[in-house]
């Protein structure tokens, strides 16, 4: 049975299971699920219609043809 421990703090009110002693507030360790290149280090290639994918990290970016272009793996704005 879950029982309140301490004052009511809204969302952060701690509840404790009287049978197991388990608390409703726990600390979790974060894990890295994806890392990407820094913004200026991407090396893009076309993988679809207006879709670019970085060869190094897999980041997908859409470009607007006429305003941006791909030069040597980098996205460059077109001067109008």
Domain around 60: 44-77
pTM for this model (two decimals): 0.59
Q: Which of 40, 41, 5 is nearest to 23 (CA)?
A: 5
Q: Into how many domains does the chain fold?
A: 1
57 CB burial (10 A radius; 0-12, 13-18, 19+)? middle
Confirm whether 48 is domain-assigned.
Answer: yes
Confirm whether 23 is domain-assigned.
Answer: no
**Residue ranges in the chain whose pLDDT is less than 50:** none
Confirm whether 70 is domain-assigned.
Answer: yes
Q: What is the pLDDT of residue 78?
A: 92
Confirm whether 55 is domain-assigned.
Answer: yes
Q: Which residues contact 2 (CB under 8 A, 6 or more apart)?
A: 15, 16, 17, 18, 24
CB 27 within 8 A of CB 14: no
């Amino acid at each position: 049975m879950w029982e309140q421990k301490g004052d009511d703090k809204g969302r952060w009110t701690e509840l404790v299971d009287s049978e197991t002693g388990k608390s409703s507030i726990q600390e979790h360790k974060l894990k890295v699920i994806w890392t990407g290149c820094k913004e200026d280090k991407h090396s893009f290639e076309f993988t679809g219609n207006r879709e670019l994918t970085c060869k190094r990290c897999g980041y997908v970016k859409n470009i607007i043809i006429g305003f941006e272009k791909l030069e040597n793996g980098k996205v460059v704005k077109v001067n109008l």
